[in-house]
């Protein structure tokens, strides 16, 4: 899993926005979680994650097929409407993945109880 803070001044006053990339090496796939479900963010982050995978594989002298990888969003509808809960959403998504799920089943009213 890879998470990163993105500069998103238009979203929350320049404080940043956290997204999560879940890398499945055996399946050559990346699942991208963004609580705002921003397609541009997902595509930009996916390119950066691909580059990071290749660099880390090279450093570890690992052979990874660079063809046939797919990247897709975990969700296409936003679950967050405020400018400060993205980190909690990332933790909730990570907890769901560690429990064997691909996505979370919470909505915004549930996140405060997470």
The pLDDT tens digits for 50-100 are: 999 999 999 999 998 989 999 999 889 999 998 888 889 999 999 998 898
What are the C-alpha distances in Å from 3 to residues 17, 28, 31, 45?
Answer: 10, 18, 12, 10
Percent of the chain with pLDDT over 90: 32
Q: Is the pLDDT of residue 108 over 90?
A: no
Please compute the mean of the pLDDT values over residues 31-47 and round it to a whole number. 86
Select the more confidently predicted residue: 12 or 19: 19
């Amino acid at each position: 899993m890879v998470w990163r803070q993105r500069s998103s001044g238009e979203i929350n006053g320049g404080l940043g926005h956290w997204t999560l990339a879940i890398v499945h090496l055996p399946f050559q796939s990346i699942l991208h979680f963004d609580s705002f479900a921003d397609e541009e963010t997902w595509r930009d982050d996916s390119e950066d994650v691909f580059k990071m995978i290749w660099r880390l594989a090279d450093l570890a002298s690992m052979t990874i097929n660079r063809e046939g990888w797919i990247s897709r969003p975990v969700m296409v509808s936003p679950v967050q409407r405020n400018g400060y809960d993205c980190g909690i959403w990332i933790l909730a998504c990570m907890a769901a993945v560690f429990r064997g799920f691909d996505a979370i089943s919470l909505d915004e009213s549930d996140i405060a109880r997470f």
